[in-house]
Amino acid sequence: MKSMAAYREHFPIFKNTVYINSCSYAALSLEVEAAFLHYLKDRHEVGADWIEWCDRLERVRALFAELLSAKSDEIAVTTSASASLSAISSSLDFSGPRKKIITTDLAFPTEAQAWHALKKYGAEVVHVKEKDGMIDLDDLEKIVDDQTLLVAIPLVCYRNGALADVPTVRNVARKHGAMILVDAYQGVGAVPIDVAEWDVDFIVGGSLKYLLSTAGVGFLYVREDLIKQSNPTQTGWFAQEDIHAMLIHDNIPASNARRFEQGTPSVPNLYAVEAGLKMILEVDVKNIRTHVAALNERLKAGVEKIGGTLSSPQNPDQHGAMIAIASTDEYALVAKLAEKNIIASSRDGNIRISAHFYNNNQDIDAVIEALEENKALLG
């Protein structure tokens, strides 16, 4: 494997900018740029190339499976995490005694909104409280019961970077016979995921953050023995067992996780996603986690030294790649950093600093220096 410094050379933005905003959108690599150009070249030279595009879709599916240590048949390639959640929502059955869906106060809006939209079908939606920036596991234990259909949690909270204790939440859900879903979008590519170790029912995510590519492609993992008993009504021709059959008098969903897919895939973005996933797998998520953890310890120490306040958990095992720092005016602070060519983002009263494998100590030191110069905007 090349050094992290060598990989950094693949991202031209670092020639003039400290880009530390992967929790929002990844930096653009030369490989992903070339993939987009490859798509345009194919359009000029071939026009429509459905056989190749379908093959590329399957290659992307296999790469997502490799990333999660899953089987390809357990992966649906969707257009977004929202599309994945909608497909899952449409497969849920509220005709029996299990009508409760449990989400958390750390949820990304899309995830929680997907469940609240199901109230019209009789769903009861309950939120687990937040405690010290984390999921309140005691509250979870009180809320999950034998009427619970699904427990949904974020792997990493988009507001403060808190990392969920997936095995503990899974055990609570399993004890009451409930399914469990993990929204991994803010963690996948930065936090190792092994579906065998997690033993959950659903995982959703997408490609524009730590997976290096772009909006327009998401993924959905469905546990193998759950697939055939799931019947999504939000569907499309790519969800059929034979997409080339062009049925109009029946609906015959695929026997694998493709049944959660819908219409025509986002073809240009498949090119980009394939390039991004190949790089992530080459670098290896375990190596990324180790590299970013060291950067984050440097950041946390620097923030403490200048008198700032972390909104993320202090324990490195309890947060993802993103570190949230309290601010009296997060929008003004983001703008002040941008004046120094430091690109970050903000949410919920915090500035968010999110390193990836392409960042280095000099980036972190530049952030700390800029924060110190703007101490009046620190919370």
Task: Evaluate if residue 339 carries a pLDDT over 80.
Answer: yes
Closest CA to 103 of 40, 29, 157: 157
* Mean pLDDT calculated for residue range 23-42: 98
Cβ count near 92 (within 10 Å): 19
* Mean pLDDT calculated for residue range 172-193: 98
Lowest mean pLDDT among 1-5, 47-51, 54-58, 97-101: 1-5
Helix (H) / strand (E) element for 111: namely helix 109-116
- Computed over every residue of the chain, the mean pLDDT equals 97
* Mean pLDDT calculated for residue range 166-193: 98
CA distance 305 to 26: 29
For residue 8, the model assigns a pLDDT of: 98
CA distance 185 to 203: 9
For residue 184, the model assigns a pLDDT of: 98
For residue 194, the model assigns a pLDDT of: 97
Task: Evaluate if residue 1 carries a pLDDT over 90.
Answer: no
- Contact at 8 Å (CB) between 189 and 29? no
Helix (H) / strand (E) element for 12: namely none
Task: Evaluate if residue 356 carries a pLDDT over 80.
Answer: yes
Helix (H) / strand (E) element for 284: namely none
Q: What is the dihedral of CA 274, 341, 22, 115, to 10 degrees?
A: -120
Cβ count near 35 (within 10 Å): 22
The model's confidence at residue 147, banded by pLDDT at 50, 70 and 90, is very high
For 236-255, the pLDDT digits (tens) are: 999 999 999 999 999 999 99
CATH topology of domain 33-281: Aspartate Aminotransferase; domain 2 (3.40.640)
Homologous superfamily of 4-28+284-377 in CATH?
Answer: Aspartate Aminotransferase, domain 1 (3.90.1150.10)
CA distance 369 to 158: 24
The model's confidence at residue 193, banded by pLDDT at 50, 70 and 90, is very high
For residue 41, the model assigns a pLDDT of: 97
For residue 108, the model assigns a pLDDT of: 97
Provide the whole-model pTM.
0.96
Q: Where in the chain is the domain with CATH 3.40.640.10?
A: 33-281
For residue 76, the model assigns a pLDDT of: 98
End-to-end CA distance of the chain: 40
- Contact at 8 Å (CB) between 228 and 253? no
For residue 242, the model assigns a pLDDT of: 93
- Local structure of residue 263 (DSSP, 8 states): S
Secondary structure class of 163 (helix, strand, coil): strand
For residue 170, the model assigns a pLDDT of: 98
For 198-236, the pLDDT digits (tens) are: 999 999 999 999 999 999 999 999 999 999 999 999 999
For residue 276, the model assigns a pLDDT of: 98
* Mean pLDDT calculated for residue range 98-118: 97
For residue 181, the model assigns a pLDDT of: 98
For 299-334, the pLDDT digits (tens) are: 999 999 999 999 999 999 999 999 999 999 999 999
For residue 186, the model assigns a pLDDT of: 98
Token pair recorded at residue 329:
């005016």
The rounded percent of the chain whose pLDDT value lies above 90 is 99
The model's confidence at residue 269, banded by pLDDT at 50, 70 and 90, is very high
Conformation bin of residue 219: beta by default, left when phi > 0, alpha when psi is -120 to 50: beta
Q: Where in the chain is the domain with CATH 3.90.1150.10?
A: 4-28+284-377
For residue 343, the model assigns a pLDDT of: 98
